[in-house]
A and B are shown apart, each in its own frame.
Chain A
Amino acid sequence: MRVLGLSAFHRDSAAAVCVDGELVAAAQEERYSGLRAESGLPRRSARACLERAGLQTAELDALVFFEKPLRKFERVLAAQLQAFPHSSRSFARGLFTWLGDRLWLRTRLAEEFAVPPAKVQFVEHARAHAALAFHASPFERAAVLVVDDLGEWASTTLARGDGSALECLAQTHHPHSLGLWFSAYTQFLGFEPGLDEERVEVLSHSGAPRFEREVGATAPALADGAFEVDLLRFRFGHDAERLFDASLEQLFGPARQPGAPLRATRDDARDADLAASVQRVLEERVLALARELQRRTQLDVACLAGEVLRNRTLLARLAAEGPFRELFAPPALGEAGAAAGAALEYSIDHGAPRRAQHPSLALGEALDVAALDGVESAAPRIEGAAPREVAQQLLAGRVLAWVRGAPELGPESLGARLILACATAADARERLLACVQRADPLQAVRVLARDEDADEWFELPAAARSLARDAACTAKASARLRELAPSALLPGGAVWPQLVVRARDPELHALLGELGRNGRAALALCASFQLRGQPLVRSAAGALEAFRRSSLDALLVEDRLFEAARE
């Protein structure tokens, strides 16, 4: 069974190909269009996926979209009507798009991809998320928690996976959405909703949750683990430009304007404290959801999905205080992953076997190193010694980009597109980010460590161990790490760890081994290789272009080394 899964029209459009229950290709459209979080139809990524899978569209058994358009239209229409008479402008704008385009999605997809309309199928949004989380997990049976912002109706889903069966147990419906609620506060704090939630999370580490009661009242918990959103404070239904109501400003003072100074100093920590309060309330609500899920399923392992669960501090708390013995989160928790989930769900639901999936979903277009042939005269080849070369560069205090193989699906690169610095330099974090024009106090960087050394560097609860292998949670730094790599610390002493398993990424593991020789710390700081406001680097030529526009000291593309002086 050959299935092409697509996600589009929200953010992070993507395509994925599943053959007989195994994901064989997956790519994100933003890396082709150059627009971060691209939401258009993923034509180019679909082509790249088919190319990688060696398929023509005529050979597909199904083309599966990650959402049910008619059900979503029902929700949009209901929300517009409920907001009457404040929704006149958004009604005309929204309905025009729906009546002119989205309602005819089956026809459009059939024509765009030259497949018969009968082959175009639809999977519920929450099911697509849940399917990737469960079917990509190592568990045969697991509870599944999806906490998202928007889909058709469902914003939160409790589910149970058992072999090839995925059963949805309960859902909360729009407009009661923790994702939209968090995004509304993201916007209140002057950041871009839907994109900058991570910055609010990082900011929360600098504050104290002194507004917890007031913030909690805007999303009160219900008795059975569910929650609701105070709809008088938010405008989710009809106004995409401002998600919060003016009454929120009566509670917390004026909203921060984008670009205005952040109130996060000792004298005035309103913004940091508000971020900490929102983060705390989010954690409490999700912990309640997790307990309810465990009560309903009686299982002790859980798979996680949805945009909200990209929050690493939240996952750390869920691992430490939640009811599950082990947690699994796929590398692409958000909308991009839902394309892969839709393809997997359809395949397995139609008889394909459940198989082990690529652990980091590095299933994009193969790296076209040959594209560098014309420009590589000055670049020496590093034959079979890339980890040693990278280690030498880092130990010499240089910051380097390392590009290998196919890019991963998801917001972060776990190995294929990294920028690296030596963790022990006092200004390592600042230098690393400044090199790619992303100098920003609210940008976190990862601490790479070998899986077997985890206890030496981090205080990780057992349930967080597998999350840390996918860099999906924060952790408390050990005293030695705090002393050795102070620049990696978030305020409050937490860090963002990524544990490298030898079997999964022998080269990155070998790099850490090289760094750890002669009693040195086997640690590195890293971030995904992307310039400010740009998507992750995709191709070899793109890597060279980004390198030339950065202030990185060196770029290693497979075995070809480019150094800034020579460039």
Chain B
Amino acid sequence: MVSFLLALRERRVWRDPVRKQRTLLSFSATEEDGGRDLARAARCVRDPELRAHLERHSRDEARHAALFRARAAEVAQEHGLAAGGDDAHGRAWDLASARRALALEAHGLSNSAAIDSAGELEYVAMLHVAERKAAELFSAYRDMNAGDPATRAVFEAILKDEKYHVAYTGTFLEKWRKLGRGAEVERALGAAAGSRWLGAWKRVGLRSAAGFSHAVLFALYWTLLAPFGLLARRRAAPRGWQAPRAGSTAQY
């Protein structure tokens, strides 16, 4: 039932050019950030074979980012879309910062890259889970874009790489299992899958809270604020020259 509702919602996203463009741009940003994170991980790992895979993976992500960005630009042009309005960014900052760990890695703009807080094995397990999920999603999105060959082609191209990403991370996990680290691998895969569920649960919670907050604010407007509103209507906006406040660096 849940996946049916999600599929319904996703179909609406892909049918609406504005949401399609924004979704493609957000994929582009995620791929770009992911590529940067992978490049950093490649510098940190000790296994030269894993390093080579991570470097290639990083390049793939950068290419995917460019593909998504280019398609988003085409969609914007096809439908005469223009600016990035405030609405897109007017969501609760918890939502916006949910991507923080992946958002910025260089120059101390986030706590650290994922590789720093996880070992090689945990990092590869996280990649494996993420790439498998991405392959599933992109495959579904490809099918949802049957009527848009250009977008479908983008997902098609990216899916080929995703399959390789799932395969090489799976090979490494298998190698570690054979080296007697099976329990560690299973624990890491479980933790990675769990963190995805936790993230999804948080998002549902935040969306519900947002709806509830809107309702509460609407009710407040017609109850508590009504007398203040009636008083404020009588007060004319200040016209003509006003004295500036003294400069300061406080919030007010």
Contacts and interface: CB of A to CB of B under 8 A. Distances in A.
B249 interface: yes
Interface string A190-210: 001011000000000000000
B93 interface: yes
B107 A57 contact: yes
B232 A81 contact: yes
- Most chain B CB neighbours (cut-off 10 Å) among A57, A93, A96: A96
B97 A112 contact: yes
Contact of B86 (A10, A87, A549): A10
B117 interface: no
A403 B215 CA distance: 51
B210 interface: yes
Contact of A541 (B28, B66, B225): B66
B228 to A, nearest CB: 6
B113 to A, nearest CB: 13
B252 A114 contact: no
B82 A192 contact: yes
Contacts of B217: 91-92, 95-96, 99
Given A84-B225, A533-B76, A534-B76, A172 B242 contact: yes
A41 B29 CA distance: 14
Interface stretch (B141-149, B156-164, B195-203, B233-241): B233-241
Contact of B73 (A46, A126, A531): A531
Contacts of B25: 33-35
A85 interface: yes
B45 interface: no
B252 to A, nearest CB: 4
B42 interface: no
A89 B222 CA distance: 11
Interface string A430-462: 000000010000000000000000000000000
B77 interface: yes
Contact of B228 (A64, A81, A122, A174): A81
Contacts of A38: 84
Contacts of A257: none
B237 A175 contact: yes
Interface stretch (A65-73, A133-141, A390-398, A419-427): A65-73
A100 B83 contact: no
A84 B233 contact: yes
A372 to B, nearest CB: 13
A41 B96 contact: yes
A46 B109 contact: yes
A96 B214 contact: yes
A85 B229 contact: yes
Contacts of A10: 86
Contacts of A36: 82-84
B229 to A, nearest CB: 3
Query: What is the size category of the interface that chain B forms with chain A?
Result: 35 or more
- Most chain B CB neighbours (cut-off 10 Å) among A44, A47, A226: A47
Interface in A500-537: 531-534
A558 interface: no
A89 B215 CA distance: 10
A105 B217 CA distance: 21
A114 B108 contact: yes
A55 B107 contact: yes
Given A47-B106, A122-B250, A96 B85 contact: no
Interface string A201-227: 000000000000000000000101010
Interface stretch (A163-171, A242-250, A322-330, A468-476): A163-171
A37 interface: yes
B230 interface: yes
Contacts of B70: 545, 549
Interface string B63-101: 000100110111011001111111011111110110010
A226 B241 contact: yes
A544 B7 CA distance: 36
A426 to B, nearest CB: 28
- Most chain B CB neighbours (cut-off 10 Å) among A51, A88, A92, A124: A92
Contacts of A310: none
A318 to B, nearest CB: 20
Contact of A96 (B108, B213, B232, B242): B213
A70 B252 contact: yes
Interface string A267-278: 000000000000
Contact of A37 (B76, B83, B238, B239): B83
A170 B109 contact: no
B104 A349 contact: no
A57 B239 contact: no
A84 B226 contact: yes
A69 B240 contact: no
- Listed from nearest, the 4 A-B pairs whose CB atoms lie closest are A84-B229, A35-B84, A81-B232, A168-B244
6 contacts: A39-B85, A41-B96, A43-B104, A101-B90, A123-B247, A226-B241
Given A70-B251, A168-B244, 17 more contacts: A44-B104, A84-B232, A104-B93, A108-B93, A112-B100, A124-B245, A154-B244, A168-B247, A170-B244, A171-B241, A172-B242, A174-B237, A226-B239, A226-B240, A533-B81, A534-B76, A549-B73
Interface of A: 8-11, 30, 33-41, 43-44, 46-47, 50-51, 55-58, 64, 68-71, 74, 78, 81-82, 84-85, 87-89, 91-93, 95-97, 99-101, 104-106, 108, 111-114, 121-124, 126-127, 153-154, 157, 166, 168-176, 192, 194-195, 222, 224, 226, 228, 231, 346, 349, 437, 531-534, 541, 545, 549
